[in-house]
Amino acid sequence: MRRVVITGLGIVSPLGTGLKKAWEGALEGSSGIRHITRFDATDFPVRIAGEVPDFDPSGIIEKKDLKKMDFFIQYAMAASLEAFESSGLKITEDNAERVGVYIGAGIGGLPAIEHWHDVLKEKGPERITPFFIPMVIISLASGQVSIRLGAKGPNNCSVTACATGTHSIGDAFRIIQRDEADVMLAGGTESTITPLCIAGFNSMKALSTRNDDPQGASRPFDKDRDGFVCGEGAGIVVLEELECARKRGAEVYAEVAGYAMNADAYHMTAPSVDGTGAATCMELALKDAGVKPDEVDHINAHGTSTYYNDLYETMAIKTVFGDHAKKISVNSTKSMTGHLLGAAGGIEAIFSALAVKEGKIPPTINYTTPDPECDLDYVPNEAREKNITTALSNSFGFGGTNAVLVLKSFNS
């Protein structure tokens, strides 16, 4: 199998736009959760979310093109361009067909769907923009990025709820392993902080209702957790075949050593009891990477701040790692970003790669009341320095779909 490394990173997040701002915010333990400004949420039971605070597409997307892209596509474009620029790659006629794009979203163009549905009801069908369909189709995130960069290789997207970003990176990793491409831009994007989305998740009793304490609302593994917080943004990595990266002297953040996906086959929204599906997925990823459980130093957990997810993920980690589980640092960056749905896995893979590269672990903030049933090392409230050789990035989605990446430090 060909070896695959990460040579570029790009982020749009509630902690800020751009890798430097987001990573510094994560290490500082900052919270990106605030009161909703996208719409009037006064009468909503949930009035908080992780909105991107500083996104300005005017510098990267021409005005005439903005009307063709809903927010999730704009976020994907911004994160992809940052990742591509940071990688130092150049696309030419000689390599264009060996460079691909694999960007997914869990829900996609919901803001545009809600807006143009209102237009249809109020003003009639003739007033619908001809760009409506391309604005909302999830595959157009990959499509628009490939058009912008001239990447003519494999082009695809995952739509697997909260596991989308991780599946996208893992599937792109496989494409390079199979020698179907040398470079893939991969990850996830999402922007669904809308009345319908917030109302829908609230009706499921999935969201935190700490409206009086937005920055304390997302509290993974804490005993007083009461649900997740919707976030938005994009996380894109550049995956590259090792020898290609070596030939051009590229900086390597981490090596993607393994990947696995499976299904709980249990429930539409709840994880399988005791985390059996998640445990199996971690075991499969370790096997794929040729890594023993006691070689793992760190896990970026799915860690949503819901009761069952955090409990069952903790159980799954104990199942896989046994006594070694207590020695593994387990953080949830969702404590700071909220849950970015289809974009979560992309951003968390980036945070994992940076933790491996720099030996710095962002904290799980708002961890104030330990839960006796969640008793691992969750890196509470303050960042930590640690030499990390091997890390996992976990993502588990509605429908019982699971995905795990294994990242390793790269020294040669």
DSSP string over 209-275: --TT-GGGS--TTBTT---B-BB-EEEEEEEEEHHHHHHTT----EEEEEEEEEE--S-SSSPPGGG
**Are 265 and 176 in a shared domain?**
no
Pair 321, 219 in one domain: no
Handedness of CA 254, 258, 262, 264 (dihedral sign): negative
Pairing mode, strands 16-17 and 4-13: antiparallel
Domain count along the chain: 2
* Judgement on whether residues 343 and 204 belong to the same structural domain of the protein: no
Q: What is the CATH number of the domain that holds 299?
A: 3.40.47.10
Q: Are 362 and 335 in contact (CB under 8 A)?
A: no
**Secondary structure class of 45 (helix, strand, coil):** coil
Q: Could you write out the DSSP letters of every residue in 128-177?
A: S-TTHHHHH-THHHHHHHHHHHT--S-EE----GGGHHHHHHHHHHHHHH
- Give, as one character, the DSSP assignment of residue 384: E
**Sequential pLDDT tens for the chain (412 residues):** 899 999 999 999 999 999 999 999 999 999 999 999 999 999 999 999 999 999 999 989 999 999 999 999 999 999 999 999 999 999 999 999 999 999 999 999 999 999 999 999 999 999 999 999 999 999 999 999 999 999 999 999 999 999 999 999 999 999 999 999 999 999 999 999 999 999 999 999 999 999 999 999 999 999 999 999 999 999 999 999 999 999 999 999 999 999 999 999 999 888 898 899 999 999 999 999 999 999 999 999 999 999 999 999 999 999 999 999 999 999 999 999 999 999 999 999 999 999 999 999 999 999 999 999 999 999 999 999 999 999 999 999 999 999 999 999 998 6
pLDDT at 1: 83
| Structure-token pair, residue 140 | 């157009």
Residues 384, 269, single domain; the answer is yes
Same domain, 325 and 366: yes
Give residue 412's pLDDT. Answer: 63
Same domain as 297, residue 231: no
235 shares a domain with 262: no
Whether 222 and 309 map to the same domain: the answer is: no
What residues act catalytically?
A: 162, 302, 339
Residue 190 tokens, joined: 């999402």
For residues 230 and 309, state if they share a domain.
no
Domain termination residue (choose one: 214, 247, 280):
247
Rounded CA separation 214/409 (Å):
35
Asked which of 247, 264, 294 is the last residue of a domain, the reply is 247
Domain that holds residue 98: 4-247
Q: Are residues 150 and 38 in the same domain?
A: yes
The pTM of the full predicted model, rounded to 2 decimals, is 0.98
Q: How far apart are CA 193 and CA 178, in angstroms?
A: 37
Is 186 in the same domain as 299?
no
Question: In this structure, are 189 and 259 located in the same domain?
Answer: no
Could you say which of 197, 222, 247 is where a domain stops?
Answer: 247
